[in-house]
Chain A
Amino acid sequence: MANENLSVWTSIPFWRRSAAWVTGFASILLIWLTFDTLGQISMGNDADLKAGTTKRVPGPTVINYKITYEMSKKRGHEVPVIGEKEAFFGKSDYSEKEARALLHLGKLTSQAKNCMDCHTLLGNGAYYAPDLTKAWIDPAWSKTGPMMAMTGKSTREEAMAEFLMHPSTYPTHARMMPELGITAEEAKGLVAFLKHMSSIDTNGFPRNFGKEEGSTNAQ
C-alpha cells in the first residue's frame, strides 16, 4: 500500500523544477553562444591582412587583394586565400577608411535596392536570382567568361558595375534583373561589398560555389 499512489510523474513540483532547469540551461547556453559567435564574426583590420592573420571576416582593405579559393583537406571544403595586391577600379591602395566607406555605401545600397528580394547574401534572402555570397569569384565575370565581353569592360569590377547600372541592357538570364537606378558610385560600392563578401570564410557555403579555376570541386 505504501508506494501504490506515489508517482513522481504526476507531481507538479517535479515538472516545474525540470522545466526551470531546461529553460535556465538553454538561456545560459544561448547567451554563451552569442558571445562565442562574436569572436567568429568580428571583422579584421588592415594590420591583420598585412600580417597574414587569418580572420573569418577580413578587414575592409581586402578589396586591395586578389581573392581565390583553395581546397583545404583539413577542413574538408574550400577556404578563401587572400593573395597578392590586385587593382580594384584601377587602385590597389585603398586606405582602411576609404575601403570602409565604400563597403558601407555598398551595404546601404544593397539594402536600399532590396537585393535580398531576389538574391541571397550569406544565406539570407531569396533564391529567385543567383546567390551573391561568392559572386565576386563567379567565372562568368572572369576574363574567359561572357560578362566582360558583353559589357565591353576589361576588368571584373568594371563589368559588374556596368551590369548593375544597366541590368536590363544585358540579357543574362530568363529572369532579367530590373533597372534599379543604381548610380556609378553606388555600383562601385556594391562591387566592393560583393568582393569583401566573397572573402568571408563561410565554411564552404554555399556548396558548389567553387567553380573558379583551380578549385577542387569545380563543376
Chain B
Amino acid sequence: MIEPLTDVVPSFFAMLNQGPLTLTIFLHTIIILPMFWIYKQEKKRLEEQK
C-alpha cells in the first residue's frame, strides 16, 4: 500500500509523495480539521454569551 521512497534525497515530503494527490489531500486535511475545532469553540462561546 505504501510505495517505496523514490527520491534521491530522503525527506518527509518524499515519503508523502505516493501519487499526484497525496500532498494536496494531506495539507487540506491538516489545515481544515482544526478549523472545525475553531468553529465549535466559537459556537460554544457565542452560546454562552447569549
Which residues of A line the B interface, CB within 8 A? 2-3, 6, 8, 11, 13-14, 17-18, 21-22, 25, 29, 33, 36, 39-40, 54-56, 74-76, 201
Contacts and interface: CB of A to CB of B under 8 A. Distances in A.
B38 A18 contact: yes
Contacts of A14: 38-39, 42
A108 B47 CA distance: 65
A3 B45 CA distance: 13
Contacts of A201: 8
Interface string B7-50: 01101110000000000000100110011001100110111001
Contacts of B27: 29
B43 A8 contact: yes
A55 B8 CA distance: 7
Interface residues of B, number: 20
A71 to B, nearest CB: 14
Contacts of B39: 8, 14
28 contacts: A6-B43, A6-B46, A8-B42, A8-B43, A11-B42, A11-B46, A13-B45, A14-B38, A17-B42, A18-B38, A21-B31, A21-B34, A21-B35, A21-B38, A22-B35, A25-B30, A25-B31, A33-B13, A36-B11, A36-B12, A39-B9, A40-B9, A40-B11, A56-B9, A74-B6, A75-B6, A76-B6, A201-B8
Contacts of A13: 42, 45
Given A18-B35, A201-B8, A36 B43 contact: no
B38 A17 contact: yes
A22 B42 CA distance: 16
A200 to B, nearest CB: 11
Given A2-B50, A21-B35, A22-B31, A54 B42 contact: no
